Amino acid sequence: MENSLPKHIAIIMDGNGRWAKKRFMPRSFGHRAGAQTLNKLLKEADKIGIEHITVYAFSTENWTRPKDEVNSLMNLLREYIDDYIKDNETSNIKIDSIGDLSRLDEDLRNKINTLKEISSCKKGLNLHIGLNYGGRDEIIRAVKKMYGELKSGSIKESDINEELFSSYLDTNGIPDPELIIRTSGEMRLSNFLPWQSTYSEIYISDKLWPDFNIKELNKAIEHYKNRDRRFGGR
């Protein structure tokens, strides 16, 4: 039997740099095109009834890139948020973030909080943006929170199970992604959702992220629908 439409799709938006290079343009040009691709795709994904999309926008490892690229990514994020706030009334999309925001500049953190507030009443697709997100970092932060609560006595050792642990992760309340898509042909997860992806189906697209579109998303969903998901059973 075919699998039904995934509730949650997680996307590793990779290949902006290569897309720009092919056009003899700076990497920031590729990142800008990538942001537009995301906007278009979200509207389409909302229409077809996807409930959650998590996107990997900036990893804990991406700080190791040259400073000018990190700055241009942060400025693009500022613009992206400002545009969303400006067009807020026409949008149906509810936005929040996963990742450790404490390393971001204060003005950006404030913008992100405003964005979360103004989109909290939206009824459409839930977009979760990975910002300074790293799966190992997320797990370590979860362990520290849990340790604090163990020490204070609000939980006890025998309470600890997979469900409780999940509730300390940034993805608390979000179902695990049934499908993870990575663009640009790269076959790795790069520290994306290690806890949540244990039984996700993985789809690799050869398209560079700025060239990804609803047709490609539908292709990935069709593949997903025909996968035999066994979860260790038979």
> Which residues of this protein are in contact with ligand IPE, per CB under 6 A?
12-18, 56-59, 62, 73, 184, 186, 188, 190
> Tokens in use for 154?
């609000």
Question: Does residue 130 contact residue 56 with C-beta atoms inside 8 Å?
Answer: yes
* Residue 25, C-beta contacts closer than 8 angstroms, at least 6 positions apart: none
Smallest separation, CB 197 to ligand IPE (Å): 14
* Residue with nearest beta carbon to Mg ion: 14
Burial environment of residue 95 by CB neighbours within 10 A (0 to 12, 13 to 18, 19 or more):
buried
Q: Name which of 58 and 224 has its Cβ closer to ligand IPE.
A: 58
Q: Name which of 124 and 196 has its Cβ closer to ligand IPE.
A: 196
Among candidate residues 3, 62, 191, 213, the one labeled active-site is 62
Q: Name which of 66 and 173 has its Cβ closer to ligand IPE.
A: 66
When binding is defined by CB under 5 A, the residue of 12, 13, 14, 178 that contacts Mg ion is 14
From the list 9-17, 70-78, 116-124, 226-234, the region that binds Mg ion by CB under 5 A is 9-17
Residue 36 φ/ψ region, left for φ over 0, alpha for ψ in the -120 to 50 degree band, beta for the rest:
alpha
H or E element that contains 174: none
Active site annotation includes 206: no
Active site annotation includes 14: yes
Count of residues engaged in binding Mg ion, rule: CB under 5 A: 1
Q: How far apart are CA 80 and CA 192, in angstroms?
A: 22
Residue 119: how many CB atoms within 10 A of its CB?
Answer: 20
Smallest separation, CB 188 to Mg ion (Å): 10
Where does 128-213 have alpha helices with state H? 135-152, 162-166
Residue 59 φ/ψ region, left for φ over 0, alpha for ψ in the -120 to 50 degree band, beta for the rest:
beta
Task: Choose among ligand IPE, Mg ion, none what residue 18 binds, the Cβ cut-off being 5 to 8 Å by kind.
Answer: ligand IPE
Among candidate residues 14, 46, 137, 170, the one labeled active-site is 14
Catalytic residues: 14, 62
